[in-house]
Structure 1
Amino acid sequence: MAEAEIATPLSPRRIVLLTASAAAVAALIFTGGVLPAEYHRDPIGLGRLTGIDRLWAPEEKVVSATGDAAAPASRSYPVAFRTDVIDIPLHSGEDPAGGADVEYKVHLKKGSSYIYSWSVGGIDNPEEFYTEFHGHTVEAGKAMTVAFYRKATGTSDNGVLTAPFDGVHGWLFQNQSIKPVTVHLRLAGFYELVPDGQPGNEAGLHARRID
């Protein structure tokens, strides 16, 4: 029988060269392939040239378009967006002629919204100014549906309203101080103004539209 051949052991120099070559190949694979495909990083441009970088995609977490609420996150409205400023003068709470309280509302379709901000100056004690933020239906011959959103004293408020039903939605402002004051109200959203003398604007207040 022929004697088995004995493999020649690798020299230290050969081992170093093979190890270095393997490390270089591994580094090239990681830099040119793994980084572009997995981390969207392409330091040497190989991912772009080979198209590997197109394999990368961030982790996705799909959520419902309605979020945690019943209403959708996106909504279209039948009326155009608008912004208005309304100045509402109120007499002193002690004026025998009256005029210390005024209602002002705008018309909203169910699901339509507006952002609001109002303030009144010249009152030393905020407890002397009262507001009711509410809405109601205006259908002739039908029982009125009413919703109260906020009843409070104070000289300012900011927020957003989404109408729970078709109707007029806004405020009763009541000055209980001894000074005449003016409420500065700003609205922005998808609403329609109520004509003079109709429910919601019996006082005939005129808004200044801001385009």
Structure 2
Amino acid sequence: MFNTPLPTVNELPSTRQLVRSTVIALLTALGLLVTVVMPSEYAVDPTGVGRALGLTQMGELKIILAQEALADAAPPQAAAPAPQIAEVKPAVQPAAQPVAKLDPALKTDQMTVTLKPGEGKEVKLEVLKNKTVSYEWTATGGPLNYDTHGEPYNGEKGYFHSYDKGKQVKSNKGQFTAKFDGTHGWFWRNRSNNDVTISLKATGDYLGVKQ
């Protein structure tokens, strides 16, 4: 039988060494929390490191996926009937209006996105408050669930403004006027068993595309 000798007092770490090791461990854990855990799980990135590493985008996508799952679980609401508007014919045929010229400051982008079964993706535009964007998209291969929404720069976690959304739709077009400075665009979810390709065209006064 062997007895392990007990360490001497000189071999034990001092109180100063223990405090130093504890402080280093706490600072390391805090750094990982701020730069990795918070951006990737909650889309909170106070340092900017998470966005540079692509972790903040992961957190934003998790939030959108959770919101989309909640929307799928909610019972569908019946659409209100459109009001009937009486047609009024003018007594005099109005003169032809000149064709408006397209504002050279407006941008136009066309892009395609392919979703595998069960996959969700989004395309965002950077748009300033009160600027308008017109869009049209079509889905080839099957219908999609979608949500057209916007998120303000440095907004509260999980906050977004929805402009339009739908389920099992093969195409959609319209326009939105930004409620605030931020990223505005589309999130799609493929609930079918086939790959679905989206063709999107956007025209308007925006700064750029984020995909």
Which is helix-richer, 1 or 2? 2
TM category (shorter chain) comes to: 0.3 to 0.5
Give the TM-score normalised by the residue count of structure 1.
0.47
* Larger of the two Rg values belongs to structure: 1
Give the TM-score normalised by the residue count of structure 2.
0.47
